[in-house]
Chain A
Amino acid sequence: MNENAIEVHNLSKDYFISSRGENWRAVVKNIFKPEKTAVQAVKSLNFAIKNGEKVGFIGKNGAGKTTTIKMLTGTLFPSAGTCRVNGYDPTKRINDFKKSISVVMGNRSQLFPDLTPRDYLKLLQSMYDIPEEIFQKTVNDLAQILNVTSKLDVQTRKLSLGERMKVEFLAGVATRPKILFLDEPTIGLDVLAKRDIRKFLLRLNQEEKLTVFLTSHDMEDIATICDHLIIVNSGQIMWDGPKTDLLERFNQNKYITFIKSENFNESKLGAKIIDQDDLTVTIKVPVEKVDDQISQLARDNQGSDYQINDLKLEDIILELFAEEKEK
């Protein structure tokens, strides 16, 4: 049996966007002869994901993350290249493939606002042909983990955003998929809801060997859940490997953040500035030079309240983007 849940070869997607024109003449001209511009959202991606992996698919806005998910789930057809998901070609859109995956999108609800979550879950049960007893047990167990048991019979439009998102998660896994695709699943949620959802995903991955493919701008989501990272920029892969390897690559540096004094002099810092505003500055310093650097800063009366931090995943990704820009 193939141990890869997802295999992607030279996958590309182009969109054609028609421009509207600035004035009426251009608008009328556009009706008869539309000007179309090709935008390459995804450029020849290659990667493989093993069964049971928790993958963070990271990139800036417009990097092609959602487009990639849509191609992997069979919603969009690739412009070039191929992909196989659970051994199926998603473009064939066969029901066995659809039953083997699940998609949860943070910015698009799949629930019916006028009905209750239980109505929606019952519809899924018949769509995915899951025996009543198994489905009820799964739903009850999952609802308990997510703290939404009492919300299953409340009209969906009366639920809070966090409750709705938890129900989306519940629905996403109640159909017993092999791969769960998550696109910005914790967008707009409070700390408690995020915590519940992260714990829920980790537990499912551990117990059911569920493969998780997650895109999120919340690096806390990625750091907590994922063990494999794929970082994309402008439709191309910048990093593909274990999270620990990436953290290791950047662990020889630390960030020093301090409050600037009146005598602050940028040219005397002797270190790369990472971030700066009117009050504070953050510099990057090799681990072995941290003590010397702080002593020097104090001697030069550059600032006060020095804080030493390891690079967080978010910092590392920003560093990667900066490295890419410098190339």
Chain B
Amino acid sequence: MIKTYFSVSKISLKSILANKSSVIILLLQALVPSLVMFYLWSLILNHGQTIGGFSKNQMVIYYIGVNFINSFVWYAVDWELNDDIHSGELSNIIHRPITVEKYYFAKMLGDRLANLILLAPILIIGFVYIVARNLIHISLLVLLEFAFSLIMAAILWFLFSYIIGSVAYWFDNLFFVLLVKEVVVNLLAGFYFPLEILPPFLVKIIKLLPFQYFSSFPIDTLVKALPLNIWLKNTITEIVWMIVFYLIVKIVNKEGLQRYSDVMG
């Protein structure tokens, strides 16, 4: 069975690489926000100030980091599910000898791998720049922790988005729901700015939610070099959230697929 999902990932990867427009959009999406933030925060924190404990260098790396994470983690499976459910495309998957959620997960892996391949040159240049300018000290342990957090973030994001997308089984169109979700989750995940900028009581509440693991936690791991015990505590909490989301995915998938009514014919 693994061979099947490996083939799905391969097809997904090939689809992205075969489409020139998606390659250009992906590169622009990754580059433009990072460059804008780089110049903006370089100007704001030009005289050694800090915001939320972030210095200029850390802030710049934070923004480059969240955009990097955005490229590799934030796969829009919720939008895809919404489209597939309402257009009836899901029927093409249901009657195949595969599991629906595993199919989308394999598709995400291929898609993310395509991103990794396309953005590799930019990443290498960025990494060399950071190391050469000595902007941040990254130990091998921190690098491993970061890589692990990134994989966990991708899985957690997939499970969360899959649940949101599955709401389409019950409602006609999720367009506005998904739009609002995007803004709220971006905010709570620390995509717009580091969560520490917010008032302490809000930070406390946000830290109880799972959204920080999509963006804020992996980048904190890298930039702040979190002590191992704190990193472990957070990772265990993340795994608990993952199990909770996985169980919810199982339930909404079972109920949703039973409810799925396709378009009339």
Contact = CB atoms under 8 A, between A and B. Distances in A.
A235 to B, nearest CB: 12
Interface string A80-119: 0000000000000101001101010000101010110001
B265 A115 contact: no
A115 B98 contact: no
Given A15-B261, A65-B265, A119-B14, A70 B97 contact: no
Interface in B234-264: 257-258, 260-262, 264
B96 interface: yes
Nearest to B264: A15
Contacts of B19: 114
Contacts of B136: none
Contacts of A98: 95-97
B172 to A, nearest CB: 7
A115 B7 CA distance: 13
Interface in B1-16: 3-4, 6-8, 11, 14-15
A112 B11 contact: yes
B18 A155 contact: yes
A164 to B, nearest CB: 14
A108 B15 contact: no
Contacts of B265: 65-67, 70, 183
A96 to B, nearest CB: 8
B3 A126 contact: yes
Interface stretch (B53-61, B70-78, B86-94, B150-158): B86-94
Interface in A28-79: 39, 41, 62, 65-67, 70, 73-77
Contacts of A155: 18
A41 B262 contact: no
Candidate in B4, B96, B265 with the most chain A CB atoms within 10 angstroms: B265
B18 A115 contact: yes
A127 B2 CA distance: 10
Nearest to B94: A75
A128 interface: yes
A238 B255 CA distance: 35
A126 to B, nearest CB: 4
A270 B150 CA distance: 84
A18 interface: yes
Interface in B163-177: 172
A-side interface mostly: mixed
A126 B7 contact: yes
B4 A127 contact: yes
A245 B260 CA distance: 39
A108 B95 contact: no
B92 to A, nearest CB: 5
Interface string B82-111: 000000110110111110000000000000
A26 interface: no
A128 B97 contact: yes
Contacts of B15: 112, 114-115
B83 to A, nearest CB: 14
Nearest to A125: B7
Interface size class of A (residues with CB under 8 A): 35 or more
A271 interface: no
A252 to B, nearest CB: 36
Candidate in A70, A95, A99 with the most chain B CB atoms within 10 angstroms: A70
B87 to A, nearest CB: 9
A243 interface: no
A122 interface: yes
Nearest to A122: B7
Contacts of B172: 18
A153 to B, nearest CB: 13
A265 B233 CA distance: 94
A287 interface: no
A95 B258 CA distance: 17
B264 A123 contact: no
B97 A115 contact: no
Nearest to A183: B265
Given A67-B265, A155-B18, A75 B95 contact: yes
A108 B18 contact: no
Contacts of B14: 114-115, 119
Contacts of B6: 126
A66 B19 CA distance: 33
Contacts of A93: 94, 257
B4 A108 contact: no
A119 B8 CA distance: 10
A152 to B, nearest CB: 15
Given A18-B172, A93-B94, A115 B11 contact: yes
A127 B96 contact: yes
Top 6 closest pairs, chain A to chain B, by CB: A66-B265, A95-B97, A126-B7, A98-B97, A114-B18, A75-B91
Interface of B: 3-4, 6-8, 11, 14-15, 18-19, 88-89, 91-92, 94-98, 172, 257-258, 260-262, 264-265
Given A126-B7, A128-B97, 17 more contacts: A73-B95, A74-B95, A76-B261, A76-B262, A95-B98, A98-B96, A101-B95, A108-B88, A108-B89, A112-B11, A115-B11, A119-B14, A123-B8, A126-B6, A127-B7, A155-B18, A183-B265
26 contacts: A66-B264, A66-B265, A67-B264, A70-B262, A73-B95, A75-B95, A76-B260, A76-B262, A95-B97, A98-B96, A98-B97, A103-B95, A108-B88, A108-B91, A112-B15, A114-B14, A114-B18, A115-B14, A119-B11, A120-B11, A126-B3, A127-B4, A127-B97, A127-B98, A129-B4, A155-B18
